[in-house]
Structures are given as C-alpha cells and as structure tokens.
Amino acid sequence: MKSDKLTKILGLATSAIAGVVMSVGVASADAVKIPTHNWSSQLVGAEILGRLFEMVGEEVEYIPMDSQTVYQAMCDNDIDLVHEVWQGAFGAAFEKVVGEGCVIDLVTHDAKTREEWWYPAYVKEMCPGLPDWKALDACADQFARADSGGKGVFIGGPVDWLKHDAEKVEALGMNFIVKNAGSAAAIWAELDSGIKQNKPVVIFNWTPNFIEALYEGEFVEFPEHDPACTEDPAWGVNPDALYDCGNPKGGYLKIGVSHDFKATNPKAFAVTQKINFSNLDIAKQSNYVDTDGMEVSAAAERWLEEHKEKWEPWITM
Amino acid sequence: MSVKVPKPLWTVVPFALLLILKPVLPNWAVTPPKSCLGGCADIDGMIPFVDWVNAAIKFLKKHEFLGAFTFRDMTRSMSDGIQILLDITEGILHEGFADFGVGAVPWIVLVGLAAIYGWYLRGWKLALLGGGCFFYLALFSKRGIWELSMQTLSAISVSAPIAGIIGLVLGIVAAKRLGFERILWPVLNVLQSLPHFSYLIIVAIFFGVGSKAGVIATVVFAFPPMARLTMLGIKNISPEIIEAGTMAGCTRKQMLFKVELPAARTELMLGVNQIIMQCLAMVVIASFIGQSGLGHDLLTRLQRLAIGQALEVGIAVVFIAIALDRFSQAVAGKQPDHIVHGPLWKRRPFACLALGFIAVTGVLSLVTPHIGQFPQHLTISTSIFWDGIVDYITLHFYQPLSIFRDAFLVYFLIPIKGAITWIPWIAVITLVGCIGWRLGGWKLLLLTCTFVFFIAASGYWVRAMITLYMVLVSLAICALVGIPIGIWASRRDWTTRLTQNICDTFQTFPSFIYLLPVVMLFQISDVSAIFAIIVYASIPIVRYTIFGLRNVPKDIIEAATTSGCTYRQTLWKVRMPMAFPEIILGLNQTLMFGLFMVMIAGFIGTVDLSQEIFRALTFNDGGKGLVIGLCVSFIGLTADRLLVAWSDRQKKAYGLT
Amino acid sequence: MSKKVKISCRNVWKLYGSNPREFFDRHQGDPGEDAIRSEGYIPAVRHATFDVEEGEILVIMGLSGSGKSTLVRCLTRLIEPTSGKVEFDGIDLLGATDQELIDIRRHKMGMVFQHFALLPHRTVIQNIAFPLEVQGIDRETRDRKAREIIEIVGLHGRDDYYPRELSGGQQQRVGIGRSLAVEPDIWFLDEPFSALDPLIRKEMQDEFIRLQSMLNKTIVFITHDFDEAIKLADRIAIMYEGMIVQLGTAEQLITNPATDYVAEFTRDIPRAKLLSVGSIMEPTGEDVHPDLTVSQDDNVSKIASKVLSQDRDVRVVNAEDETVGILRRQHLVEVLFQD
C-alpha cells in the first residue's frame, strides 16, 4: 500500500519536474556556455569569442569556473568550449576527458607555450653563466633555505600539474629540491617577495603569461627536449634516467569543445573551428588588462577593434 | 615505596607502551597496510572507499529508476528550477527584465531602503550602518563592485531561503521524531565539518555548473545550523505554552503553525542569521563551480597578484555580511509593538517612508541618470593604498621575520611534524579510544575509534597526520594568543565590543586574501600555512573566552569580591575555572575553523590532505574528493566528540548545565 | 448532596518509570509503597478518587512535588494517567479519541497556567481569541467575543498590546480571559497567582471571586498557598506524595485533621477567621447571659470583640433564634490566641 503511494508521488513529482525542464530547457539550451577563469588573457579571450558568437547570431552565457573542474563540466555538456587549454597546466585533465570521448580536441592555436624554470633578471648577476642550468646548479647554495638542508629551492607548480621537476633534478644530479606551490598565485607571491628583497629565486613560469609584462627575467636553459628524453633512459646526459632534459619549447595551446557542441550550436561551432590565436594575441589580451589596467570588456573591444582583418574571416561562413 | 599514578595518567599508559614498543611492532601496526579488497589495481588503502563512492556516483548517473529517469535527471531538473529563481533575483538586483522594459533596482533605492529598514528595526544607528554598507558598495564601485555585489546578493537571496526551508523542515521533523533526530544529528555534524572542496565535483556532476551549482554547494553548507536551531527552538518552548495550545483544542497542524513555530521565533531568526553568514562564507568557494559575483572577481584579482584590488572586493564582502548580519539580528531581537490606530502613515510610518522614497527617486531619475547609475567619476578606489601597506610590510618586515621563520621551522615545526608522523597508527587509535572511554564510556570509544579507523583504512593516513600536525600546532598557538586576548577583552565593555567587532570582520573576510601576503612574508612553507590558519582560527577561542568569563554568575563574583579577592585572584581562582568549560568549547570551534582553513592553506602549498583534494579536483575524481573530505571531517569530529564530552563533564561538575 | 457531579475521578494513578503499565498490572492495580520505591518508579498521583460538583470550587492544595499539577493534567488528559477512570459529564474522558478530546477542550474546558503561557507573538485580543480561532470561528465573531471578555477581565484599552508590554497581573488577566473565551463548563486554574507579587496576588484573588460570582463555573483550582485555598475554596483536597490525604471544607480540615501532615499544615492558620461559632460552642448549658446572643453561623473573629468585652460566656442561637449552645469565654480566648 505504502510503496504504491510512494510510486504515485514519485511519478507525479517527476512529471512536474519534467514539465519544468521542458519549459526551461528550451529557453537556455542553445546559449553557448563559455567558462571564465581567473587569468586575464583567458577572460579577455572568452569575451572576444562571445562577441564573435553573438555576431553570428548565437546567444552566449559566461560561467565563472575553476580551470580544473571545467573539464568535468565540459564532459557533462555543461560547458561548451575551453579556448585556452594549456598543455602544461591542464594537459592531464584535458587528455583524460578527450580519452573518455566526451570532449573533442578541436583546434590547436598557433601560439606556442613554454613552461620552464624561470628567474628574474637580477639573478643573472648573482649567478654568472645563466641561463645555463649548470650555472644555476653551481650557485645552488644561494637558493638555499632553512629547511632545505643546504640545497637550492625551486618553487614548482601545484603537484597536480604533473610536472616532472623532481625527476629532472634527480636525473641531472642537481643540488636542488622542489617545493610545490599550492596555486599559481602562491608562485607569484614568492616571486614578488623575492624581487622586493632582491633575493635569488627560481620559479616555475610559462609563456605567454602576464608575469612577463610585470617583471623582467628569463627561462633556464636545460638540455634541449627530445621525445626520447621521456621514454628512453639511455638518451641524454644521464644514461640511467628519464627527464634529463628541459620541457618542450613549443607546448600546445588548444581549444576543446564538448561532444554536443556541434549539434547544439552549429554556427558557433563553425566559428570556433577557424579561431586561432598567436602568441602575440594572447600577450596583448593579457597586457591590456595587466599592464594597461583596462577592464576585461574594454580590453576585448580593443583587441577586436585592432584585429578586424584577423577575425573577420572566422565569422564568414 | 609504591609510586601512585594519578588516574588520568592511566589513560595514556597503553599509548606510551606502544610508542616504546614501536621498534618491535609489525609493519602493519605502524603504517596502515594496503590490501586488495575488490581488486588490487590502484588502491591506496585497506578498504576501497574511493571506488565504492565512484561506483555509487556512476550508478546514480546512469541507472534509470522506474525505467524513466536517472537520479541525475532529477537533480538536473532541480537545478533548472533553481535557475528560474536566479533569473528572477538577478533580474531584480542586477540585470533588469529586458522583456518587460524594467531595469534593475537602482543603487540609490537599495541604499535608501537599507537605511529606512535599519531605522525601523533599531533606530538611526542601524540606519547609518545599513545605508552606509550599501553606499560603500556604490561609492567604491570603480571596479564594478556594485554589479558584482548584486550578483552575489542575488545568489544569496536564492540559496538562503532554500537552505532555510530545508533546515526548517528537517528541524521540525527531528524535533517531533526522536528516531529521525538520531539520524539527522550525525549527518549535520559531518556536513558541517566536510571541507567544501570535497563535494564540489559531485555537485558539478549532478547539478551542473554556474550560479545554480553555486547555490547548491552553498545550501549544503548553510542549512545545518538552521536545522539545529529549529530543533532547539521547538524543544525549548515552555511546556505550558504547548499545554495552552492543547487546551485550546489545537489540531497538530494548528499547534505547529499557530503555536510552536511562532513561539520558537527567536531561535528561527537566529537560524536565518546563521544561514546568511554561512552563505557569505561560501562566496569565494562557490565561484569554483561557477558562481558569478564578488568571489570570482576576488580570485581573478588574486591570480594577477592585485592584492589591493582583491582586498577592496573582500571588504565589500565584509560590508555585505555586516549589514545582513546586523539586520537579521535586529529582526530576531525585534519585539512587536502594540498596534497604533489611525491613518496609514501613522500605522505604518516606515512603509510609507519607503514608498515615498521610492516615489521621489523615481521622479528624480527622470532628471538625472545618476539615480540608476552611481556617477562613475565619483567612485573611489582604495586598492593603491592597500597595495602600499602590503608592500611596506613585506619590504620592512621580511628580514626580521625571516629569522623567526627559520628558527620556528627548524627547531619547532619540523621536529613536531617528524614526531607526529612517526607515531604508529595503532598507538593513535589506542590513545583516542582510551580517552574516549574515559570521557564517555564505550559508546564514545566505539565512535571515535571508527572515525580513526576510517582514516587509516582509506589510505591517506600519513597525509592526515600532517594535516593533524598543522592543526594541532595552530590550535596550541591560537590558545596561547587567543585566551589572553579574550581575558583582556572581557575586562571592560568597550574592549569586549571592540574585540567582537574585529572578530566579526575577520570571520567574514574572505580568507583567500591573506594567503598571498603571508606567502610574501614567510615564503611557501608550513609557517605560512600555520600563520594563515592562526589568523582565522583564533576567532572562536577569543569569542568563547570572552563569553565564558563574562557569563560567570554575578553573585559568585560578588562573593569573591567580598571575600577580598584582588582582580587577579578573582580571575584565576574564580572566573577562569568557571569559564573553563566554555573555553574548551572555544578550542573545539578553533579546531573546526583550523580544519576549514587548513584546506584553504593548501593553496599555499602544503603536503597534506588538501593537496590530495586538489589533485582529486584536477582529475574530477568525485569519490576521492569525498573520501578525503570525510577524513578531514572525521579528524574534526573525533576531536569534537572528545572535547564536548570533556566540557560537559566539567560543566556537570560545576552544576552549570 | 443533590448537586450534579461534573467530574468524577476514580482511582487515578500516574507512575513515572520505565514501564509503568506493566508494573501496575503486575501488582494488580495497587502497588505498595515498597514495590514502587524498590523498582525505581516515581508515584506522581496515587489512587485519586473524588468528585467535582457543578458550580463548586475545588481547591487542590499541596507543596511542590505533591502531584497536584500532575493530577489536574490527568483530569484534562494533558498527561495520560497510568490507570483509573475520569468521567466528564458522564463521558469517559480516558476513552475519548483524539478528535473527541479536541472537541471537548474546544468547547467545555478552560485552563489558566502558572506562568500565563501567553503566545508572545499575539496581541491581547489575539491571545484571547485564540481558542475561538482554532475552532474556525470567523474573525468578526471572535473579535467581538474577545472584546467582551477583555471588558470582563478588566483590560479595557489594552486590546492591541503584546504580552511583553503588560505587567504580570495583566498578563494573567489575559490568561484568564483566554480560558474563558469558549465559555467552558469547567475551569482549571493551575497555580494562577503563584508567579505574582503578594499585593497583586490578593487583588487577583478578589478579582477571581468577583468573576466567579458572575460566572458561577465549576472550578478546579491548584495552589500551594493554604491562605489562598481557604479564601477561595468550597472544598479543599490536600495532597501529599501523590495521594489525597484529606478532602473537605476548610473548617473540617482545621477542626478534624485526618493526619498529622494535615494538622501541621493547618496549625498556623488563624482559626478565628475560619471557624464558625457553632464549631467551638458547647451544646447547651446554664449560667448563660440572657442578653448577649451570637448566631451559631457567625465567624468567630466577627463576634470576638463583642464577647470579650463581656465578663462571661454567651448564648448561641440558631437561625430560628432558639438556643443551641454556649460559647465559653475561656475557650474563645484559646481559639483566638491558639494555645
């Protein structure tokens, strides 16, 4: 008796809910859902994409999102596209959902990314011979801290970025330890503090990045990357270890779209296929905000203004 | 000669024995073993909790109930319903309704209404405070703070009522049915101690992303205090009032709606107050799964290292919190006055004033556009000022503090960390069990040991111990700093008020902001993390110390005074012992705050459970996130159960219950 | 007595403990003191048997913990008695269904509480109209009725005040008003004046007497104050450890206490105010002053000065002016000054 009643109630509830879904679903399903993260180039780029989609008659919805959880959201079709998939930071999460088949690897930008150990300019004077890694290793003691046992400290990215810095240190026999920051912001705080104290620091950095606009500095040069370096121990200076080399200098920057994107927003999908940002584009997008102090929407407008010849072909069918 | 061991010491004897015996203990007793229950693939612990949770998630995602819909379809349609509500509140506060040609509520109307409402509730002081807080949002809106605040407010105006209704209904049922209360209570405990990051993925899977998901995550965190206060309120109604209702011939429904709920009004309003504060505490974290507003903006600015700008946004959060807190407190405390007869403006003077104000601004808006939009050229930004302060501190304090930092790290933290991670897990569980048994008998023993065993079996033992080490060190420092501050603050009325206001501010201030200055001062190290924890977790111990000391019965203090006690003697011989149970509860809360903050301090870079939770976030591993979250929660609950049992014992001994 | 019995209470028990009913049955409905104590039960009420007659004021009197409040709650079934029988107008109250109980309470019972039990969120008029509201009576009717009652209980002009804006005495007037709103057949008052200041208490007692003279209700009145009991009661039941140790008029209790406990209770009561001449006279006698007579129904305190101003005993007469006895001067002095 009781369960009968329960089923009835459940049935009623579902049909009511279903009704709601229908009425809502129609209204919002076809807006392109673009995530906004917490760094400037992405925010500006997201707005640029949104404007382009609107030009071809799509509706756009911006959703603030963590840059890691966004991949699960895209896999569930809650987010339609991510236009700045960094190989270094998000490669692992991205490739996982691509592997599951719920996200499509659609575009690879011309922009090349590089992630490597990086130091502010003044460190070069303290440590002659830089940017060569051996020179860095030679003055490791200058980078030492109270709890590092006399070894130099390298501030790495969060562990979940899956960099192989610790393996690199070991393979190259460097007198360094890796300290993982918990977030990118923590790396910048370390850098900022080091610069204020004029103290040697070496951190994990990448390009394009707003940091270049704020502080001068350069990447450490490790042995040139080769695919064999991460597969064959015999390769490189250390015959017994992997990762005895630097990171690839041309990491990818991709656009990923959700599996259903093509079906729900064909026009936006067509535009997305043609989008392609260069290093300069990304740098400009971020500099407008980070160095010129513009607000995001103004920066997006300015980029669109100045690059008509670039984006106009993207929206012509 | 026989040595007499005091009774409490016996509690630690088994623990000490196990420590001494560590060298001969088998390996499985030192570090929790791994097992191959349910396949050996990549299991970290004894029992594959993570796989179980993930299997459950998959089931709920895919399995079709009644052959028609999955659990996820249901949750998804719920979030669509929430979206409708959000569209309404966002329309009112932020976006306007373009379809009807109606704009959002203008800034000046909100400022004015806040002031009038404050005046109505508690007079001109609250009017000034309420109006002032909203005016701040408008005046400092150079970076769009007004719009962001309205987004945040619109999300809160959806999540707070939902949390309120859920809490109210659960609280009512629990107050009426003892069996349900027994189930609900532990669930509330877990929900309140579960780190937010641990359920974000699950929320994203079942409710999607965006402001609607932010609302769900907020509701999960915000409803428990309401449920508790509803239970408390209904149970605390004087039995005579219930009898009066019965004798009037109330049916059950009449009793609930006409007698019980109105009579529990004060507690219910306190619950509403708590909900609002919890919602504001979630502003930043909800933005991880897509809530727009101040939280997201704050994170963006931090990411750019624009600390001053982030601080400005954080202050906006504080101001909203203070305004809403004082308003809801005033509503809770407001007693109705007798009805005055006469024309409408006499009967409802404030409503008329509000309507009049709206009318006047409506007319004015035809004359000047600034009614709808705060004049941009008048807006102010204080970010440069804040940046200057941060720069000054990092420039001038870094050197002197670095000596302290290094010494603290090398001679204090590293040895303690070593010691805590050195202890065999068997010894830990034994110690917890012995204390539990002593304080609360075999029931408490069983409960706390289950918690500890879960952590050991989950495979995150070492990480959990590192989390524990950071929390314990912070707890000790908080006690050393917080109790004296509390003693000082309890001395006079104005010091109490001042300290409480500072506590309010720090409690609502988004803690993410001080992570970066702390790193600038102390580098990426446990010192930074512990410092950040202390800033936040000292609040409750200060509050409870003040509360305990000020609430010692007056006649006892008078008795001490007439016995010729000096201030010092009264403090140490009378007030402190009497306040002791409250101080224990304060420590308990400090521990909970510490656990909350330890997770956020993970953004600095610590090698504990928080790092694992972030890893779970990256790989969308909902099960792992939840299991680690439960580990954190169980650390908290173990300590909570023990401390509460201790406090109760002391209170009973003093006859304070 | 020829009067109609309103409430009849037969062998009512209320035991607190782990399983009182089973315990009670095991002892065939009459557990002894030892059994109760040894098995850890708390006897709140023990074989309470009495009737309340129509129009009578029965005061149940006892110290705190004597079970008087529990007893009155058994009569209203606010507390479920462990055993026994309560009849209200011939209806078996303990057998009534929930719905029947609600009906009885809505129309026939009124109750006043020690701490007033006013609903804090309602005005005076809303509180008084509350029992009418739950019956579903329309607003206009119930407000009219409530206004009448406000006049009766002397709260004119306070209609729209909230309880916290009133003094204790005024609050209890609201409580009384509320309990009278449904024009109950029987009126329960549970220590209605205990929470009030002595002066206000006296004023409220007088008020109560005034009301009763107007309304003539059947009343069960609980108090721990013997003076109050004497002042208001037609009959008094004295409770001790859950049992009614004696039930009778004030005079009976004083002149003929059933137990030492009752005697102890009544000892400090100024008898003169209470005793009638009839109760302390000697039936007939000689050497009677022919001129001075007192009526046998007069209160002792009333005739005291008249008698004491004389040097000898006085003659006691009944309503028909026939001599029925003699009042010894010496005895009067003893009564007046208590030994």
**Where a domain ends, among A199, A230, A261?**
A230
pLDDT tens figures, A94-140: 888 899 888 999 989 988 888 889 999 898 888 888 888 888 888 88
| A200 and A131 within one domain | yes
- In chain B, % of residues over pLDDT 70: 95
Q: Has residue A3 been placed in a domain?
A: no
Taking CB atoms within 8 Å and a gap of at least 24, the contacts of B86-91 are B86/B154, B86/B155, B86/B158, B86/B211, B86/B212, B86/B215, B89/B153, B89/B154, B89/B155, B89/B157, B89/B158, B90/B151, B90/B154, B90/B211
| Chain B residues whose beta carbon lies within 8 Å of the beta carbon of residue A17 | 74, 77-78, 81
Element spanning B299, H or E: helix B294-303
Q: How far is the alpha carbon of B242 from chain C, nearest alpha carbon, in Å?
A: 8
- Measured between CA atoms, the residue of chain C closest to residue B261 is C121
pLDDT at B37: 53
Domain boundary among C233, C251, C269: C269
Distance from A136 to chain B by nearest Cα, in Å? Answer: 20
Chains A and B touch (3+ CB pairs under 8 A): yes
Is C214 found in the same domain as C98? yes
pLDDT (mean) for B353-360: 81
- For residue C202, tell me if it sits in a domain: yes
C199 lies in the same domain as C258: yes
Q: What percent of chain A has pLDDT over 90?
A: 16
Whether residues B129 and B211 share a domain: the answer is no
pLDDT tens string B503-521: 888 888 888 888 888 888 8
Same domain, yes or no: B284 and B318 = yes
- Residue A4 domain-assigned (yes or no): no
Residue A19 maps to a domain: no
Report the pLDDT value the prediction gives residue B466, as an integer from 0 to 100.
92
pLDDT at C336 over 90: no
Beta-sheet pairing, B69-70 with C282-283: unpaired
Give C165's DSSP letter: G
Residues B179 and B300 in one domain: yes
Range of the domain at C212: 53-70+93-108+184-269
pLDDT of B261 reads 92
Specify the CATH number for the domain of residue A293. 3.40.190.10
pLDDT > 90: percent of chain B: 24
Q: What's the pLDDT score for residue A44?
A: 92
Return the residue of B nearest to A211 by Cα. Answer: B304
**B324 and B365 part of one domain:** no
One domain for residues A91 and A181: no
Measured from the Cβ of residue C24, the count of other Cβ atoms closer than 10 Å reads 19
Check CB contact under 8 Å for A69 and B410.
Answer: no
Establish if B222 belongs to a structural domain. yes
Task: Mark whether A88 and A125 lie in a shared domain.
Answer: no
Q: Give the Cα separation of A40 and A286 in Å (integer).
A: 5
- Which of C93, C107, C113 is best to mutate for the B interface (most B CBs within 10 A)? C113
Q: How many domains does chain B have?
A: 3
Asked whether B644 and B588 are in contact (CB, 8 A), the reply is yes
Residue B61 inside a domain? The answer is no
Whether A293 and A270 share a structural domain? yes
Residue A102 lies in a domain: yes
Q: How confident is the model at residue B101 (pLDDT cuts 50, 70, 90)?
A: low
- Residues B434, B315 within the same domain: no
Nearest CA in chain C to B255: C134
CATH of the domain at B271: 1.10.3720.10
CA distance C43 to chain B (A): 21
Q: Does C133 contact B at CB distance below 8 Å?
A: yes
Q: How far apart are CA C46 and CA C51, in angstroms?
A: 16
User: Which of A163, A195, A230 corresponds to the end of one domain?
Assistant: A230
pLDDT at B489 > cutoff 90 = yes
Q: What residue type is assigned to position B165 of the chain?
A: I
For A72, the closest chain B residue by CA position comes to B620
Residues of B in contact with C111 (CB under 8 A): 243-244, 247
The Cα–Cα gap between B249 and B419 comes to: 66
CB-based contact, C178 to chain B, within 8 Å: yes
Q: Do A38 and B521 touch (CB under 8 A)?
A: no
- Chain B residues with CB under 8 Å of A65 CB are 209, 288-290
Residues of chain C neighbouring B238 (CB-CB closer than 8 A): 115, 117
pLDDT the model gives residue A20:
42
* Whether residue B259 is found in the same domain as residue B330: yes
State the CATH number of the domain containing residue A123: 3.40.190.100
Same domain, residue pair C228 and C298: no
| Mean per-residue pLDDT over chain B, rounded | 85
Do A259 and A304 lie in one domain? The reply is yes
User: Would you call A63 and B209 a contact, using CB atoms and an 8 Å cutoff?
Assistant: yes
Q: Are residues C257 and C285 in the same domain?
A: no
**Contact A204/B at CB under 8 A:** no
Angle between helices B461-489 and B493-508 (to 10 degrees): 150
Q: For residue B258, which residues of chain C lie inside 8 Å, CB to CB? A: 119, 130, 133-134
Per-residue pLDDT reduced to its tens digit, B420-455: 988 998 899 999 999 998 888 889 999 999 999 999
Neighbours of B437 (CB within 10 A): 17
Hey, is A104 helix, strand or coil? strand
Q: What is the pLDDT of residue C286?
A: 58
B301: nearest Cα among A38, C187, C27: A38
Average pLDDT of the residues in C146-159: 89
Give the integer Cα–Cα distance in Å for C299 and C304.
Answer: 9
Q: Establish if C276 touches chain B: CB-CB under 8 angstroms.
A: no
The shortest C-alpha distance from A276 to chain B (Å) reads: 24
Write the CB contacts of A174 (distance below 8 Å, at least 6 apart in sequence): A133, A136, A137, A140, A152, A168
One domain for residues B616 and B636: yes
Q: Are residues C216 and C324 in the same domain?
A: no
- The domain total for chain C is 2
CA quadruple A212, A214, A216, A219: dihedral sign = negative
Of B312, B296, B277, the residue nearest B152 (C-alpha): B296
* Domain co-membership, A131 together with A209: yes
Supply the pLDDT for residue B648. 85
Determine the average pLDDT of the residues in A63-83: 86
Whether residue C99 is found in the same domain as residue C242: yes
Q: Which helix (H) or strand (E) holds A45?
A: helix A40-55
Q: Let me know if B337 is exposed, middle or buried by CB neighbors in 10 A (0-12, 13-18, 19+).
A: exposed
Average pLDDT over residues B457-476: 91
pLDDT class of B159 with cuts at 50, 70, 90: very high
Which helix (H) or strand (E) segment holds residue B268: the answer is: helix B265-281
Q: Are B279 and B358 within one domain?
A: no
Whether B117 and B214 share a structural domain: no
**Model confidence pLDDT, tens digit, residues B322-353:** 899 888 888 877 777 777 777 777 777 778 78
B640 burial level (CB within 10 Å; 0-12, 13-18, 19+)? buried
Q: Residue B312 above 50 pLDDT? A: yes
In a domain, A43, yes or no: yes
CB contact under 8 A, C119 and B246: no
Same domain? For A95 and A160 the reply is no
Residue range A58-65: mean pLDDT, rounded:
86
pLDDT at B16 (0 to 100): 86
Do C214 and C277 sit in the same domain of this protein? Answer: no
CB hemisphere CA count around C197 (13 angstroms): 6
Question: A190 and B523 in contact by Cβ < 8 A?
Answer: yes
Residue A128: how many other CB atoms lie within 10 Å: 9
Point out which residues pair with B340 in neighbouring strands. Answer: none
Say if residue C287 is in the same domain as residue C249. no
Which residues lie below 8 Å from residue C128, measured CB to CB, with a gap of 6+?
C146, C149, C150, C174, C177, C178, C181
Phi then psi for residue C311, to 5 deg, are: -100, 0
Examine the pLDDT at A17 and tell me if it is beyond 80. no
pLDDT in tens, C43-102: 889 889 999 999 899 999 988 888 899 999 999 889 889 888 999 888 888 888 889 889
Q: In DSSP terms, which residues pair with B149 in a beta bridge? A: none
- Position C285 pLDDT exceeds 70: no
Residue B303 lies inside a defined structural domain of this protein? yes
The answer to whether residue C14 is domain-embedded is no
Each residue of B15-64: pLDDT tens digit?
Answer: 888 888 888 888 777 877 776 554 555 556 677 888 888 888 888 888 77
Q: Based on the domain organization, do A226 and A118 belong to the same domain?
A: yes
* Confidence at residue B632, expressed as pLDDT on a 0 to 100 scale: 93
pLDDT at B111: 86
Residue C192 and residue C233 in one domain: yes
Among A80-84, A285-289, B186-190, B362-366, which is the least confidently predicted range?
B362-366
Query: Do A211 and A140 lie in a common domain?
Result: yes
Q: B244: which chain C residues are within 8 Å (Cβ-Cβ)?
A: 111, 113, 117-119, 178
- Closest-CA distance, B170 to chain A, in angstroms, reads 19
In a domain, C142, yes or no: no
| CB-based contact C105 B265, cutoff 8 Å | no
Give every CB contact of residue C245 below 8 A, 6+ residues apart in sequence.
C238, C239, C258, C259, C261, C262
Structure tokens at B653: 């001994």
d(CA A312, CA B420): 63
Averaged pLDDT, B229-249: 90
Question: What confidence tens digit (pLDDT) does each residue in A237-259 have?
Answer: 888 888 888 888 888 899 999 99
Are A52 and A102 in the same domain?
A: yes
Contact A76, B204 (CB under 8 A): yes
A209 plus A180 within the same structural domain: yes
Check CB contact under 8 Å for B337 and C162: yes
Chains near C, with 3+ CB pairs < 8 A? B
Q: Is residue A12 part of a domain?
A: no
Number of domains comprising chain A: 2
* Structural domain includes residue A63: yes
Q: Are residues C204 and C276 in the same domain?
A: no
**C324: domain CATH number?**
3.90.1280.20
Q: Do B300 and A160 touch (CB under 8 A)?
A: no
Greatest mean pLDDT among A152-156, B338-342, C88-92, C320-324 lies in A152-156
- Give chain B positions within 8 Å (CB) of A38: 296, 299-300, 302-303
Confidence of residue A26 (pLDDT cuts 50, 70, 90): very low
Q: How far is B363 from chain A (nearest CA, A)?
A: 32
Q: How confident is the model at residue A2 (pLDDT cuts 50, 70, 90)?
A: very low
Owner of token pair 């206004």: C147
At least 3 CB pairs under 8 A between chains A and C: no
Residue A129, domain member (yes or no) = yes
Residue C262 sits in a domain whose CATH number is 3.40.50.300
Q: Which of C227, C243, C269 is the last residue of a domain?
A: C269
- Can you give the residue range of the structural domain that contains A151? 114-230
Given an 8 Å threshold on Cβ–Cβ distance, is C161 in contact with B250? no
- Domain boundary residue among C269, C288, C303? C269
Indicate the residue of C134, C160, C162 with minimum beta-carbon distance to B254: C134
Q: Are residues C198 and C327 in the same domain?
A: no
B513 and B647 in a common domain: yes
pLDDT of C215: 85
Average pLDDT, chain C: 85
What pLDDT is recorded for position A3?
43
Full residue range of the structural domain in which residue B349 is found: 107-139+338-376
The reply to whether B195 and B252 lie within a common domain is: yes
| C191 and C209, same domain (yes or no) | yes
